[in-house]
A and B are shown apart, each in its own frame.
Chain A
């Protein structure tokens, strides 16, 4: 039986391959952009709007900073305690058009040694974890020009 592919958080990202995008929302009154998405109230204190529409975020940005997790994080992060811990990379990416920084894990195989502040990266679909029925999908950041 094949596993169902399910986003780890609904409506935070969508699309396949080259068309994969993070999904935020934009205030229809003031233009403020939100990720994670705001669907009820615009958080601009000078705006009274409740009109928020879904908007894809820029697929590319530049590394604001990066780090890694050398020790197993606690739940609800899912990892197999039977297997040796494999560090993951975290990359904070500055999106020029949105004027914001978005955190994400690095794509598999990307280590801190591969990264520099200011480097161009792109968002790609990724897998966070798998259990018996479900493949939990997520977004990853990957240096531009590096093959999957």
Chain B
């Protein structure tokens, strides 16, 4: 996309909007129960919030989990059965950390195509203790299996590589990274759905154990149980339902990289080579945000709030740049100036982010949209950003899944 398109700001998107009628979550934590239970709690909360009877839902889209056996791979049907079969069409999608956005994208496509008028989207996970691990067996054709077998490269080691690179190239410090945690923990303390609900000091981050140099335990997001759900509808259905000014989804970007992908993304052992084809002008993550802006017809300066995927503290700073909130290497400066904190120009991760939630993979991108929905409704209480009108989510799932959702009111 070109900068002319970005500069048009504030106009309508390239498609019609869809309405967010309801949002619901099961609190994040380590509850020791199954993902189906979490998902149905979130689904019922979203249905109640929407004021829609489950039997009136005509499509269910589930974001899959790879940790729940067969029911996890057919999450849409699993949730539909648990809520009581009522004949709705069903889809189940998987895109790693971007699964939730793909589920929202699937629901939106059905609504815009006129296949259905009200959809339930659900994602839920029950996470194991410790590092995420690949599926079992001898699977040398699976890059995710190989990176563990050959290198022992856990997810946090990739976060460590990115963080060290930022320190070397941009001069960022451990203190800068810690301040991301301080900001997000303060917000998470105000969120009843967050797993970690207390303020954290920079000293506590520095005193926590190193997991993958230079990152400490408190720089890295935990793995959590949790669930999030949305009831999405056509604007016509919303009007008939009495929701005249609902929060609306204006764009869902689910783009893939462009060859050669020059970022060392999970779970890769090497980047693409740029010998035969020069790299694209924008990195993969930048292209995700640009696709969302283009589809929504907005520019970064139109944003009121953003929810970004802070798998680590340093990655949040990277997202500031990829979203165009600042130039390359200016992420830490933006944070230090308070631009991304409440009261700043563009508060980021008002939910508390992954820093306060820990990651419940298929639920997380849906939870990002729940937070934006509540911010745009003005119902988040102590963490409310006054006058929030436009929000964006950003997320990346391993194996080349970009995701970004633009929400407006």
Contact = CB atoms under 8 A, between A and B. Distances in A.
A20 interface: no
B276 to A, nearest CB: 4
Interface string B119-139: 000000000001101101010
Interface in A65-102: 65-71, 73-79, 88, 90, 92, 97-102
B44 to A, nearest CB: 34
Nearest to B211: A70
B34 interface: no
A147 B150 CA distance: 24
Nearest to B268: A103
A118 B138 CA distance: 36
B211 A71 contact: yes
Given A32-B273, A64-B165, A117-B164, A76 B154 contact: no
A10 B82 CA distance: 46
Interface string B258-291: 0110101000111111111100000000000000
B165 A30 contact: no
Given A45-B259, A74-B130, A92-B264, A67 B149 contact: no
Contacts of A105: 151-152
Interface stretch (B93-101, B140-148, B192-200, B224-232): B140-148
A73 B264 contact: no
B210 A73 contact: no
B152 A36 contact: no
Contact of B277 (A46, A102, A112, A128): A46
Contacts of B168: 65, 116-118
A69 B164 CA distance: 14
Given A90-B151, A105-B151, A9 B270 contact: no
Interface of A: 8-9, 27, 30-36, 43-47, 64-71, 73-79, 88, 90, 92, 97-105, 112, 116-118, 128, 138
Nearest to A117: B168
Contact of A90 (B157, B163, B272): B157
Closest 7 CB pairs of A and B: A67-B160, A117-B168, A32-B276, A74-B133, A73-B152, A99-B274, A77-B152
A90 B145 CA distance: 17
Interface string B210-225: 1111110000000000
Given A67-B212, A101-B262, 14 more contacts: A9-B146, A31-B275, A34-B273, A67-B161, A73-B148, A74-B154, A75-B148, A90-B151, A100-B274, A101-B264, A103-B151, A103-B264, A116-B168, A138-B150
B1 interface: no
B169 interface: yes
Interface of B: 130-131, 133-134, 136, 138, 140, 143, 145-154, 157, 160-165, 168-169, 209-215, 259-260, 262, 264, 268-277
A112 B213 contact: yes
A8 B212 CA distance: 24
Contact of B276 (A8, A27, A71): A27
A104 B138 CA distance: 21
A8 B268 CA distance: 17
Q: Name, among B150, B151, B215, the residue most crowded by chain A CB atoms within 10 Å (CB to CB).
A: B150
Contacts of A79: 152
Contacts of B262: 100-101
A62 to B, nearest CB: 11
Nearest to B150: A8
Contacts of A36: 143, 146, 269-270
